[in-house]
Amino acid sequence: MVAPFSRTTPPPPPPPPRPGVPGGRRRPAPAAVMLCSSLLTSLLLLYCLTDRCGSLRLPAASAAATSDAQQGAAAVAQGGGGGGGGVPLESLRRKRLLQKWTTAGAGAGAKRHAAARFGARPVYYHHYGPLKLGGDSGWVAPVPVPVPEEANLLLPPRLDGAVPPRWRSSGSPGAGPLSPLGDGTKRLPQALIIGVKKGGTRALLEFLRVHPDIRAVGAEPHFFDRHYDNGAEWYRELMPKTLEGQITMEKTPSYFVTREAPARISAMSRDTKLIVVVRDPVTRAISDYTQTLSKKPDIPSFESLTFKNRTTGLIDTSWSAIQIGIYAKHLDNWLQYFPMGQILFVSGERLITDPAGELGRVQDFLGLKRIITDKHFYFNQTKGFPCLKKAEGSSKPHCLGKTKGRTHPNINPEVVQRLRDFYRPFNMKFYQMTGRIFGWDD
């Protein structure tokens, strides 16, 4: 049997050519050629739009294209990038997209967010919330900002697929643990009302709390005189949460006469601003006695507590009501740790007669805008001191409680004059130290 296609068997002849077609092949139709050409053009366009042709040269077909090419060439010359002499389309597209996004009604937060995403090469991408920039730049974009979908095309996703946590540390001195954005952070106070007892510290604190940039503790913490051993974290937890730009405050009048307080506060922060409300020391001593009398009705008389020996007229400076009013002595201790420029003395008398004026000085001292003005106060004839028309967080008028503005007992005028003579040299020294005459000896 002879194998197929053997030498003895000739191969089968080819099929006859079709009439009108050279070589027997079909000529492609014009419609098919156009379809293929359109498909190739579409693929090329899609290739460029997905940043696959960043190294292609821009055609100088229009003025806009020529301008972009010049910008790209300048960018390559400055940054040393590029390659092949081409214009970096990706950088131009990013710049245009950024300009379009940040000028299309976006807020300041969105603009900062966009600048961080496109200009500083962030570690976190997409629009989860805050972004962590390279280096020590810290967190940016404090609120989540929507990002256009086309912007996401320019940035790769997180490699681990995780969403960056919406937490941050304020970076401020004394800032506590991380807290959710918008909730604020508990910070150690940047300003303290350190004295004096019965000088008007409660009134000053209540007035200051009207200011939107001041957050204060209501109760007196007594950290630097009674609870220092509890530690800074215990103290921080007593503070209200504050946002960036707000000031944390507290008031404890006994700090001014506590010998250890200046060193302890300086150890917390040498930049702490200190406020002292001072009052005529004689009137202050009587008010102090009145408060004690309301709690302990059986205490000795004011006159018997004032003198060590009534016959000789020797003043008992160990009695706290008398000792607190020697302001110059206490101020000497504070000036060993703080410059005079960090201590503001508020007149307790002017806080009654001109509350807006004294509050203006305090706001200036704290670096705040003068928001608390005359319109916030009205004078209460019954109590004899000003009250707030609207207290913090309320739309109703607010006066200090019943414990404020007590009626003083009648004190022997001779005792009062003896006290004035005693305080006069200390007052004069205090005027010289502070550069302000309070007028207690007129």
What is the pLDDT averaged over residues 422-433? 98
pLDDT band with cut points at 50, 70 and 90 for residue 398: confident
Q: What percent of the chain stands above pLDDT 90?
A: 50
- Going by pLDDT thresholds of 50, 70 and 90, the confidence category of residue 19 is low
Least confident of 71-85, 130-144, 214-228: 130-144
Per-residue model confidence (pLDDT) at position 10 = 56
Comparing CA positions, the residue from 322, 320, 302, 298 lying closest to residue 310 is 302
Please report which confidence band the pLDDT of residue 171 belongs to, taking 50, 70 and 90 as the band edges: very low
CA dist 99 and 275 (Å) reads 48
Backbone angles phi, psi at 14, to 5 degrees: -65, 160
Show the tokens assigned to 437. 């005459």
Indicate if the pLDDT at residue 143 is higher than 90.
no
Over range 301-305, report the average pLDDT: 95
Average pLDDT over residues 319-343: 98
Neighbours of 154 (CB within 10 A): 15
What is the band of 253 on the pLDDT scale with cuts at 50, 70, 90? very high
Binned at pLDDT 50, 70 and 90, residue 183 comes out as confident
What pLDDT was estimated at residue 394?
61
Quick: pLDDT tens for 264-293.
999 999 999 999 999 999 999 999 999 999
pLDDT, mean over the chain: 74
Closest by CA position to 99, among listed 119, 83, 73, 82: 119
pLDDT band at 395 (very low <50, low <70, confident <90, very high): low
> Is the predicted pLDDT of residue 412 greater than 70, yes or no?
yes
Write the DSSP string, 112-146: HHHHHHHHS--SS-SSSS-EE-STT--EE-SS---
What does residue 131 show for φ and ψ, rounded to 5 degrees?
-110, 145
